[in-house]
Chains A and B, each alone.
Chain A
Amino acid sequence: MTANAPSVRAFRIWSAVHTWTSLASMIFLLMLCLTGLPLVFHHELDHMLGYEAEVPEMPAGTPYVALDRVVEAARTTKPGEVVQFVSFDKDEPRTVLVGMARTLQAVPSDSFVRIDLRTAASLAEAPLGTGPVGFLLKLHTDMFLGLPGKLFLGAMGLLFVAAIVSGLVLYGPFMRKLDFGTVRRGRSTRIKWLDWHNLVGAATLAWALVVGATGAINTWADLMLALWQGGQLAEMTAPYRDVPRPIELASVDAAVATAQAAAPGTTPRLVAFPGTAFSSNNHYAVFVAGDTPLTARLLKPALIDAATGALTDMRAMPWYVQALLLSQPLHFGDYGGLPLKIVWALLDGATIVVLGSGLYLWLARKRSSVERSAAFEGGGRHASAGSAR
């Protein structure tokens, strides 16, 4: 009795952790799984539903126009708005996305113009974040509540991770007399679903941990970027703190070329314009990335003097931003081709089964304990008499 006491206590604690972390996050996890399922195929769905720009076919090797011309074309498309950044699409290198806003300091909104790099023509495209996929994405990332919604879902993600870890601890005691993969189909519905819960939970453990943990990390993206802005970026732009913004800006093409010359073998991913949140009043911030699958995800900002076009600083981003950038594809599963996306969807479906069966097991256990209590109260006197005999 005394030797077993700590293990019983530990078991009860882990059991309580597993039950309550799962129950507390259940509704939100089911929502995340259900909305995440179509989001795995967001490219395909956007294309199918007509929310993605049609890029005209042109002969291979058609040269690209200058970025300055692209920026000018964006300004013409949205008169009265200023350019905040130019974003290069890794999956669609023939176009760029130009982010616009009423003022340079405005929080980047959904005002974008997609420009064909070969013609500088503006491509017709539904505003980002609209349509069914946009709706699901907003629901999935912050439930239309902005940063508080994101952080809340991040907390749900952490509860999910705790539920997985506690489930792993409990798996041993419950399965030690069974072969892996055994489902006792001859027993009650509850035991059958307990076995399915354990089996599918064990099979999807690694994937669920990766997706749950990276999902939680992604919810901290805004905080991490704010930390970077207040830390490394502020340090890099400190010498220019009181220098007024130049009236004439250097060429965007020259800024990109300078950044690439400073980091050979890289390609531009984003150019933030002077005066915006990701730069200073006096700099273009050119974010470049490497050419291998791994380094292509790690951004390196180069600050280019917006008046002279000279490089003033270039550093690797801090580890927490790198971790965020690496975690994103592991959460979305969109780095692979269609086969990997289909498997991602299957694993998402399997996680829904684990969540649903867990809820069923909890409800069934509650029902059976209520029945046991009722039976005990009804036949208590008789049972007491029987045990006395």
Chain B
Amino acid sequence: MMRPARGTHRIWTAPILVAFAMLAGLVGALLTENALMDGLAALILFGALAWSVGLGLRSPRTRDRGLRGGPRPVPGTGSQHRAGG
């Protein structure tokens, strides 16, 4: 198994919360089917997406922990960024 690193919780907590919020919104709207719940679900889904994209947009150009301590090269893969694509 890959070794868990410090800060692992940071990269999982937010996406898990976003995923749960989205699922709750989708299923909630489906099960209730009223205008209020529809609006609330739309708000939750939009909020989760907008917050995530907002974080990316607000990332400062200089905030670059990756330059010193970015994702660790995965041994044997040749590149630390291979899997992204």
Contact = CB atoms under 8 A, between A and B. Distances in A.
Contacts, number: 210
Contact of A197 (B14, B29, B79, B85): B85
Interface in B22-64: 22-23, 26, 29-33, 35, 38-39, 41-43, 45-46, 48-49, 52-64
A330 B22 CA distance: 12
Interface residues of A, number: 70
Interface in A102-139: none
Given A176-B11, A177-B72, A180-B13, A15 B33 contact: no
A182 B65 contact: yes
Interface in A158-185: 170-185
Contact of A172 (B8, B20, B35, B59): B8
A1 to B, nearest CB: 8
Given A18-B83, A178-B66, A340-B41, A207 B56 contact: no
A210 interface: yes
A205 B19 contact: yes
A347 interface: yes
B51 to A, nearest CB: 8
A202 B77 contact: no
Contact of B84 (A198, A342, A350): A198
Contacts of A177: 5, 7, 65-66, 69-72
A197 B56 CA distance: 11
B49 A346 contact: yes
A210 B53 contact: no
A337 B39 CA distance: 8
A193 B52 CA distance: 15
Contacts of B18: 202-203, 205-206
A194 B11 contact: no
A343 B64 CA distance: 31
Nearest to A205: B19
Interface stretch (A225-233, A242-250, A253-261, A353-361): A353-361
Given A176-B11, A181-B14, A203-B18, A294 B31 contact: yes
A343 B72 contact: no
B31 to A, nearest CB: 6
A326 B85 CA distance: 33
B84 A194 contact: yes
A85 interface: no
Interface in A190-204: 190-191, 193-200, 202-204
A362 B39 contact: no
A329 B46 CA distance: 19
- 6 closest residue pairs by CB, A with B: A181-B55, A361-B85, A203-B52, A339-B42, A293-B33, A194-B84
11 contacts: A14-B83, A176-B7, A177-B72, A179-B7, A180-B14, A194-B84, A194-B85, A330-B30, A337-B39, A347-B45, A350-B49
